[in-house]
Structures are given as structure tokens and as C-alpha cells.
Structure 1
Amino acid sequence: MKLTALTFLLAIATIVCKAQETRPGPQLPPETGEQFKVGIAGYTFVKFDLDKTLETLKALDVHYLCIKDFHLPMNSTDAEIAAFHAKLKAHDVTGYAVGPIYMRSEEEIDKAFDYAKRVGVKLIVGVPNPELLPYVEKKVKEYDFKYAIHLHGPDIKIYPDADDVWNHTKDLDPRIGMCLDIGHDTRNGKDPVADLEKYHSRVFDMHIKDVTAPVKAGYSLEVGRGIIDFPAMVRMIRRVGYTGVCSLEHERNMDNPFMGIAESIGYFRGVIETTKE
């Protein structure tokens, strides 16, 4: 059942009251105590610099960021990487993964794994050409990283949904899995709640968004305004014991996305609060 506007507002009011009554000093984010974390995918800020990105995360009390290379280029020096992490730390933000990174050759795979190692993360969100998956598996074994293939719905030919990623990876090293983008999965006619249940052992990252319809023409909009059943999704996240990050990837009004980002994070946290048992 989707949250009504009234239920959502009551949930937010409950969160605020609880924070005021029981949380002296700096307030903890409402999802504290869950096995999973709430974050933001770096692509959300493709038109903004790192300072604006971190200012937004701080305002939202979000502490996890999937790093995109427009904020930290792949040819960054060790000194530049150290300065990047220092800036994140000053905002109480952890860069937990890099990507999505497209990989169309063994050389590009080598560069991506070296980049992730120098950045200091052990999760790569990637989009490798399918014929390169045996080489990805070799690198995963060499580096002991997890590799999450980002699915893209009907927009590109490869990896349209969770079924497709599973079929490509089920016989590979178990550290190769998926970034379950619930919006793109839905746009390819799939049920992301059911797919999380089926494939949770290979779901290493999640992109949270809402969409208007289960077809290619369906477009992204603020979480809670579309067709995805978020209470069912949050309950499934708990049921399967997902311990990764649920990162908002906001792709609407990207010249000025900030109100939509805040609405989406607020709604998602409202669902987290109201589905607790």
C-alpha cells in the first residue's frame, strides 16, 4: 500500500517529535538502527561541483555517496584523492563505492580497478561489455572487490533488468552481482520488489528512484509520486537482510534538483519509519 500524503506528513511529524524528545545534541538520521544505509548516487549532482554536493548531503543528514568521476577524476593523483576524502570527512560523508563506470576494453577495466584501489573502496558499480565479464571476474579475484553491474532498463541494449544481470553473472564469482536500479527495472516491465527477493544474494548496491510507468516512456520523478510500492520495497529490503546502501539517484529537473532530492529522501525515510514493526 502506498503512503497517502496525510500518512506521510504524520510520519515526518513523528520522526521530528521523536528526535526532539529522545535525541539530545546532533540528531541521528531516521534510518539509524537499520541494517541498510541511505545514500545518494553521485550522478544526481552531474551538473554541480563537489562542494554543492556535500552541502546538500549535510543539509539532508545523508552520510554515504557513490563517487562519480566528474567529482574525482580517474587520473587523480594520490594527493588529490587524499584531499577529496578530507573534504568528505569534514562533512561526515563516506564515499562507499565508485561508479557507474562504463568499461569497453580490458584496459578500461584495469584502469577502473586501479582507480577503486587508490580511492580506497571495495565496491565498483560498473557497466562492462558482456564479452568482458571473464576478465572482470579475473580482476575481482585479484583485488577481492565486489562488482555491481548497473542495470539500465530499456535505454541501452545491455543489462536492461535484474533478470538479465543475473543470467550473465550467476555462474561467475559470487562477488560479481548487480546494482539494482529499481526505476530502470520497473521501466523494463519487471517488479523490483520480487527481483530483490530472488536475487538478493547478488545485490550489492541499490539505486532508489520512482517512475511513472513500466515502459520505456516511463520517466523518473520524485520518490512517492510514481508507481513503485515503496512500503513493500522497504519491507523486502529488511526481509532479505540487505546491508548495503540505498542511494537516491534523482534524475528530474537536474538543473535545479534540490527540492526534488529533499522530497525524495524525506518520503523514503518516512516509509522507513512507518513500516517499522
Structure 2
Amino acid sequence: MTKKTDSNYGVVKGKNQQEWKRIFEFARKMGVETLVAEPEPSQFDFLEKLCDEYNINIAIHNHPQPSRYWEPDSVLKYVSGRSHRIGACADVGHWVRSGLNPVECLKKLEGRIISIHFKDLNKNSRDAHDVFHGAREFPMFLPCYKNSRNRNLRCL
């Protein structure tokens, strides 16, 4: 088995238990710590068991509307009451595209964030695109980042 590398892999979406098991096997061989995913709601019970069996996290990714997990409440609906290995992949750019305030979303998910897709956009709108330096005021995210450190969140 490969040593864990604090890495994330995904966004993945397995069709059934067999496919998810193959994804987890691959992740273990590659030393992946967290799978970023968009599972079907009916899959959470067996995914929770796979997370614990393989010692691999699942971070639910929030693509913009009309994705099932587009806003924090929809993610919390599926991760609350489950293993600490199931949480959120907070994609701040997609929240902006969905008209949400990313700082408020991070606060709402506090304690359940496993991974962050920290990107900047050229403007605050649905049709924005990723850029190296754009419309975000990054210092506003720092308090949320500091508060998430209890989940061993790392900036790569």
C-alpha cells in the first residue's frame, strides 16, 4: 500500500457499489486521502462503510445550480450525522456562480469541510470564469480558513 499523500482525487461519481469499491481501491493504491465526489443520495450508507474500511474521506463537491449539492444546506443534509470521513469540498467559485456569499457558505459548513477548491473569478456572476487574479478579496476568507484547521485542512 502506498503512503498517504494528503492528496485529493476527483470529482468522481460511481454508478453502483462495485464501481465505488474500484474507486476506493484505486485511491488506496495511489495514497489518496480524500475522494472529491458527487454521489447519489442512496449511496451514502455504503459509502460511509467504504470510507471507514479504507480510511479514505469523501468530500461532497458543490457544482453550481442546478447541481444537487449546489448550496451548503444540501451538502449538510447528506453529511450530518455521518462519519467524520464524509464532509464537504467547498468550491468557492461555484458558490459565486450560484449567487451565494462564499464566506457565509464556509461558516455554515464549519467543522464539515474536508477540502477546498479555492479559485478566483473574473467577476461575480453565473457566467464568470476562473482567473489567476480577479474579483475576490482573499483576506475575507482567512478567518474561515483559520477556523477550519481543526479538520487538518491544508493549503497546497
Q: Shared fold (TM-score greater than 0.5)?
A: yes
Deviation of the 1:95 alpha carbon: 6.5
Query: What is the CA distance between 1:223 and its match in structure 2?
Result: 4.2
Higher relative helix content: 1
Q: TM-score, normalised by structure 2?
A: 0.84
- Shift of the alpha carbon at 1:178? 0.9
Alpha-carbon distance between aligned partners in 2 of 1:197 and 1:168, rounded to the nearest angstrom: 17
2:8 to 83, 97, 100: 97
- CA distance in structure 2 between the partners assigned to 1:110 and 1:178 by the alignment: 20
Q: 2:51 matched to 1:140? A: yes
Aligned residues: 153
Instruction: Say if 1:246 and 1:193 are closer, same or farther in 2 by CA, change over 3 A.
Output: farther
**Equivalent-residue separation in structure 2 for 1:96 and 1:186 (angstroms):** 25
Q: Is the 8 A contact 1:161 1:184 kept in 2?
A: no
- Write out aligned runs for 1:66-81 (5 A): none
Aligned counterparts of 2:132 and 2:77: Cα–Cα separation in 1: 29
Q: Within 2, Cα distance between the matches of 1:246 and 1:180?
A: 13
TM-score normalised by L of structure 1: 0.50
1:239 aligns with 2:147: yes
Change in Cα spacing, 1:246 to 1:206, as seen in structure 2 (3 Å) is: farther
Equivalent pairs: percent with the same residue? 27
Q: 1:225 aligns with which of 134, 139, 146?
A: 134
CA separation of 1:221/1:201 partners in 2, compared to 1, >3 Å: closer, same or farther?
A: same
SS class of match (2:13): strand
Moved over 4 A (4+): none
The answer to whether the 8 A contact 1:162-1:185 is kept is no
Q: 1:151-194 CA distances to partner (integer Å, 9 max, x unpaired)?
A: 1011x432112221111111221210011000112222222212
Aligned with residue 108 of structure 1, among 8, 12, 19: 19
For residues 48 and 141 of structure 2, what CA distance do their matches in structure 1 show? 30
Counterpart of 1:166 in structure 2 is 76
Between the aligned partners of 1:239 and 1:158, the Cα distance in structure 2 is 26
State how far apart, in whole Å, the 2-side matches of 1:224 and 1:243 are: 26
Rounded Cα–Cα distance in structure 2 between residues aligned with 1:222 and 1:245 = 22
Structure 2 residue matching 1:103: 3-state secondary structure: coil
Per-residue CA distance 1:29-63 (angstroms, 9 max, x = gap): xxxxxxxxxxxxxxxxxxxxxxxxxxxxxxxxxxx
How far apart, in 2, do the equivalents of 1:183 and 1:160 lie?
11
Change (3 A) 1:162 1:229: farther
Structure with bigger RCO (C-alpha 8 Å, 6+ apart) = 1
Give how far 1:123 is off.
1.4
1:198 matches 2:108? yes
